[in-house]
Chain A
């Protein structure tokens, strides 16, 4: 499979014009989000590169990543990438078998020592070397031997990147990722189950053009592709912003193409390029096909579970504890109460965790949510849910009094005079033992500090609210 021609001479031998090659480089540059000024550099580097030797190892995996890679390159321009590579060993794709195949591997290793790219698909079992072997050699031994002479390692798929499905509890084979074994080589993780195929070729093109791996994120994934969430690039995002959610897979909202967040979509906390690069020649991606994102490119996605549960529902239990509430009767006289509160603010596009104290930017989409554990004496009563806040502009002096605002039932922000009886209802509900209050979702409109309170008012005028507020600083 190996040749020593340059990519440029290979193309000319195949009668491919330089215009076609320019087109290929423009498309790759656009994919890699490189500045357009880099196109001539890419043209020059690729044209003069020898065909890159690639050794592809398959360990504990389902071959889905290989399938994905092959499906990516079925037409014209993208096919050029195959001329760029010399796939010297891939035990699923190569024609050779048995000793001939292993000899091909030995020759590639010897001939291209220090220069080949090692692509690894699948996790590596450590509990017992016999759980997964190739030609009698354990995956661990194969990986450590071949990594030694590799120029760089590409861990393809979530199994190789983070352990993936084999690593999921109870992890009977002791499966680990490549990164947990090889620590002294340039390594990039292209996670996903399977990964978006063109990301693999994009990384190889970058390596050949610039002689180094692209910029990586904290999980060693190429930042170009994994620097943004699926949510940010999702065409259904405007529905999220407008609060239009499908509640089941066959309701009117689903038929109108509304946001799948409440059906368990994990696009908000998943960094991947699915929504922008898409699949099957940019035809579609899971959300476009009507199913929420499973978050398959993130570590521990299988163990995190809750595929069909809203992200907020699944994290509601993790709301910060705000302690016991405070209560007053209709005349404003204090009362004792056993009602307790939890609540916080989360940045929708962040890690999704709720905080009692948080600094956010005006550009952050936030979610403010509370939970009231209602004292038994108040349960099953129809009550007004109340939401109000004390606000100070950022530059206000410490001793200046705050301005008070409240939310009405349509989400409007109204001034409030601090008299409990004048609070307008945000909602009217029958109080459960645990009553959830989803206060606000969206952007803030001004900088400043905000102390958020919430609670309920019973028919007899008793008002119960949190004593420890949710404290937010909003900056530009």
Chain B
């Protein structure tokens, strides 16, 4: 036995099961279509066994879109086989899972460009443009 992972623990017990969660996702999708309202389900705070969590992820599957972000560690985002149902996982730089959520939305917030960052980007672009304009006018003069 050389690591913690080698401890032969097999936990096959179920707790609440994934069926109630699938119904909640169904309800949230209906709400998204009808009222355009997003829902976020925090998997870490549900009393699911690791096996049940895996069953849920297997049931949701993977759809057409997946993305990887690098913001103080990796974040993995993918749309499941059910359009509008996303899984978002945040890790720190040591690959420890910080949060795992199912988001029922058209696009998860973390993927949208935040307006503050857009503003900062715009300012940086304007700075570069002014430098380029300056260089251009200097070239013309010479």
| Residues in A lying within 8 Å of B, measured CB to CB | 12, 16-20, 22-24, 26-27, 29-30, 33, 36-37, 39, 74-78, 80, 235-236, 238, 241, 255-257, 281-284, 288
In the A-B complex, list the 5 residue pairs whose CB atoms are closest, starting with the nearest: A36-B40, A27-B98, A76-B72, A18-B114, A76-B93
Residues of A within 8 A of B44 (CB): 30
Question: Of A22, A33, A236, A281, which one neighbours B96 at CB under 8 angstroms?
Answer: A281
* Chain B 108-129 residues near chain A, CB threshold 8 A: 109-110, 114, 116-117, 120
> Are B72 and A22 in contact, CB atoms less than 8 angstroms apart?
no
Interface size (B, Cβ < 8 Å)?
A: 32
Residues of B within 8 A of A22 (CB): 109-110, 114
Does B101 make an interface contact (CB < 8 A)? yes
> Are B4 and A283 in contact, CB atoms less than 8 angstroms apart?
yes
Residues of B within 8 A of A12 (CB): 120
Secondary structure at chain A's binding surface: helix, strand, loop or mixed? helix
Residues of B within 8 A of A18 (CB): 114, 116-117
Beyond A20-B71, A22-B114, A23-B73, 6 additional pairs, beta carbon < 8 A: A23-B90, A29-B42, A30-B45, A30-B101, A238-B12, A282-B96
Known: A18-B117, A30-B45. A23 touches B9 (CB 8 A): no
Chain B 5-42: CB-based contact to A (< 8 A → 1; otherwise 0): 00111011100000000000000000000000000111
Residues of B within 8 A of A282 (CB): 96-97
Secondary structure at chain B's binding surface: helix, strand, loop or mixed? mixed
Residues of B within 8 A of A24 (CB): 72
> Are B9 and A235 in contact, CB atoms less than 8 angstroms apart?
yes
Residues of A within 8 A of B64 (CB): none
State in angstroms the CA–CA spacing of A26 and B40 once bound together. Answer: 11
State in angstroms the CA–CA spacing of A33 and B4 once bound together. Answer: 27
> Are A23 and B41 in contact, CB atoms less than 8 angstroms apart?
no
Does B139 make an interface contact (CB < 8 A)? no
State in angstroms the CA–CA spacing of A171 and B45 once bound together. Answer: 40
Which of A16, A33, A76, A256 has the largest number of chain B CB atoms within 10 A? Answer: A76
Q: Which residue of A is nearest B113, CB measured?
A: A19
> Are A23 and B7 in contact, CB atoms less than 8 angstroms apart?
no
Residues of B within 8 A of A288 (CB): 4, 7
Residues of B within 8 A of A17 (CB): 71, 114, 117
> Are B96 and A75 in contact, CB atoms less than 8 angstroms apart?
yes
Does B130 make an interface contact (CB < 8 A)? no
A232 vs chain B, min Cβ distance (A): 8
Question: Of B8, B12, B101, B120, which one neighbours A26 at CB under 8 angstroms?
Answer: B101
Does B92 make an interface contact (CB < 8 A)? yes
> Are A236 and B9 in contact, CB atoms less than 8 angstroms apart?
yes
Does B141 make an interface contact (CB < 8 A)? no
> Are B98 and A77 in contact, CB atoms less than 8 angstroms apart?
yes
B111 vs chain A, min Cβ distance (A): 9
Known: A19-B69, A19-B117, A22-B110. A238 touches B94 (CB 8 A): no
State in angstroms the CA–CA spacing of A282 and B44 once bound together. Answer: 13
Does B55 make an interface contact (CB < 8 A)? no
> Are B11 and A238 in contact, CB atoms less than 8 angstroms apart?
yes
What are 25 A-B pairs with beta-carbon distances under 8 A? A17-B117, A18-B117, A22-B110, A23-B73, A23-B75, A23-B98, A26-B98, A27-B99, A30-B42, A30-B45, A30-B101, A33-B45, A36-B41, A76-B92, A76-B93, A76-B94, A77-B72, A235-B9, A238-B11, A238-B12, A238-B13, A281-B94, A282-B96, A282-B97, A288-B7
Q: Which residue of A is nearest B93, CB measured?
A: A76
Chain B 59-100: CB-based contact to A (< 8 A → 1; otherwise 0): 000000000010111010000000000000010111011110
Chain B 38-62: CB-based contact to A (< 8 A → 1; otherwise 0): 0011101100000000000000000
Question: Of A19, A26, A75, A238, which one neighbours B92 at CB under 8 angstroms?
Answer: A75
